[in-house]
């Protein structure tokens, strides 16, 4: 079974006191003590980001590790990735991340892992990377379309409710045919794909949503995805 859990935002890095999405990811593993590997490439392996991951995941029933391409400790990248139950990709600069992945062959290793049942997850850069295209935001520059790994069809726009420029930029890009139709996801919401088909949408906060956005007769049409709040 192939699984991808793509978060618009949230998880340990954005909601350190609310790990509902992180717990949801772990619950998908048929293992009482799953191996979770954090991949912080998009942040340049920022030390603080890695430390926050370990701080959060040490409170959860799992075995945590991280994969660095800046200070690598593995001997065989593909084997290391295949040993994991979950690959959790952090946020940051998506373009730089994908360049480094391809240089190291991590993109190919992740595809093999995905096809062998390793769960792929992540937020922001770690969400859009799994789709054909993503809407990315370089610092102090306009949003633009980025070609990604293509494990999932269509496009992805994270932080849909969290950044003012996201929604209008995504709408305009779809209207102009610059980016494919796809999923817009609020912070705190995760889309769970099984075998490339959307299986569930879950949230760590009430009143947050995901949408399928497309162009119909030269107008934007948003279809709300039924999203289940994980809290009580």
Q: pLDDT at position 38, please?
A: 98
SS3 assignment, position 203: strand
* Region for 229 from its dihedrals, namely left if φ exceeds 0, alpha if ψ lies in -120 to 50, beta otherwise: beta
Instruction: Verify whether residue 66 is a known catalytic residue.
Output: no
C-alpha 200: how far from chain center? 15
H or E stretch at 52: helix 47-57
How far, in Å, CA of 158 to CA of 20, rounded?
Answer: 18
**DSSP assignment of 135-191:** EE--TTS--EEEE---SEEEEEE--TTTSTTHHHHHHHHHHTTSS--EEEE-TTEEE
Q: Any idea how long the chain is?
A: 232
Cβ pair 184, 5 in contact under 8 A: no
Catalytic hit among 127, 159, 192, 203: 159
Beta-bridge partners for 145: 135
Q: pLDDT at position 138, please?
A: 65
Which residue reads 């590997």 in tokens? 37
Q: pLDDT at position 164, please?
A: 84
- pTM, rounded to two decimals: 0.95
Among residues 84, 32, 88, the alpha carbon closest in space to that of 62 is found at: 32
How far, in Å, CA of 155 to CA of 147, rounded?
Answer: 9
Beta-bridge partners for 216: 219
226 token code pair:
């039924």
List, for residues 59-101, the tens digit of each pLDDT value.
Answer: 999 999 999 999 888 889 999 999 999 999 999 999 999 999 9
Pairing mode, if any, of strands 144-147 and 131-136?
antiparallel
How far, in Å, CA of 175 to CA of 164, rounded?
Answer: 18
Q: pLDDT at position 141, please?
A: 64
How far, in Å, CA of 123 to CA of 134, rounded?
Answer: 12
Catalytic hit among 13, 43, 64, 124: 124
Q: pLDDT at position 226, please?
A: 97
| Intervals of the chain under pLDDT 50 | none
């Amino acid at each position: 079974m192939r699984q991808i859990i793509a978060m618009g935002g949230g998880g340990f890095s954005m909601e350190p006191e609310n790990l509902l999405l992180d717990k949801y990811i772990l619950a998908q593993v048929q293992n009482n003590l799953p191996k979770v590997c954090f991949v912080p490439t998009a942040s340049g392996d920022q030390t603080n980001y890695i430390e926050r991951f370990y701080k959060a995941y040490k409170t959860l029933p799992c075995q945590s590790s991280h994969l660095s391409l800046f200070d690598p400790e593995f001997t065989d990248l593909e084997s290391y990735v295949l040993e994991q139950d979950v690959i959790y990709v952090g946020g940051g600069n998506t373009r730089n991340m994908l360049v480094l992945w391809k240089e190291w062959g991590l993109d190919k290793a992740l595809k093999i892992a995905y096809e062998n049942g390793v769960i792929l997850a992540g937020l922001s850069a770690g969400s859009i990377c799994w789709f054909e295209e993503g809407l990315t935001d370089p610092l102090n520059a306009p949003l633009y379309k980025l070609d990604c790994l293509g494990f999932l069809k269509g496009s992805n726009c994270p932080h849909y409710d969290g950044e003012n420029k996201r929604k209008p930029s995504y709408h305009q890009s779809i209207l102009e045919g610059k980016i494919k139709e796809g999923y817009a996801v609020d912070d705190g919401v995760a889309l769970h794909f099984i075998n490339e088909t959307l299986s569930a949408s879950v949230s760590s906060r009430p009143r947050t949503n995901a949408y399928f956005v497309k162009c119909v007769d030269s107008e934007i049409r948003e279809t709300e995805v039924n999203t289940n709040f994980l809290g009580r």
